Amino acid sequence: MSEKLEQLNQAAKETVESDFLNACGSQKWSRKMAESRPFDDIAALLNQAEQIWRNLEAKDWLEAFAAHPKIGAKKAVPKQSAQSAEWSHGEQSGTRAANDSVLEALAEANRLYEEKFGFIFIVCATGKSAEEMLAICQERLNNNADTEIRIVADEQRKITEIRLKKLLESEN
């Protein structure tokens, strides 16, 4: 068992809830993860994270979505912790090389998306260019709300998994 996993298993509930909240902005998910300890190994933690996520209500998903900055945004959202903001910045690194016209188109697509669905565009941005994210957003604007919330929930699940792995690799 990794040293960091052992620390998560033994940490105070409030401390580990905060760590989990950095990975996924849902209070309920974070609380249920903290209550699920101890985890035998990283695979068990990741499996439990996915099971809890899939069984949450839409309002819990929306809370997690709201903890993300918009794709291409320059600053963190008010609800976002420093750790989460740092991870978001790294995940969206593909937008830093984009030219102004792509960033403007992405901002407009974000606006249309939020207007249509009532929540921000979420995509697992790791490894994607701004152009790829723009194309994904524009394509997903064709979806209906029921389809889109499920897609976004799965994108959040992917992001959470990446962040949990980062949390387990961290020096803290």
Token digits for 88? 């978001």
Please state at what angle helix 13-23 crosses helix 145-169, rounded to 10 degrees: 120
Catalytic residue, from 32, 49, 60, 68: name it. 68
Which sign does the torsion angle of CA 61, 33, 67, 14 carry? positive
Question: What's the gap between Cα 25 and its chain centre?
Answer: 7
H-type helices in 118-170, by residue range? 130-140, 145-169
89 in catalytic set: no
Token digits for 2? 């990794």
Identify whether the C-beta of residue 47 lies closer than 8 Å to the C-beta of residue 34. no
* Residue length of the chain: 172
Query: Active-site residue numbers?
Result: 68
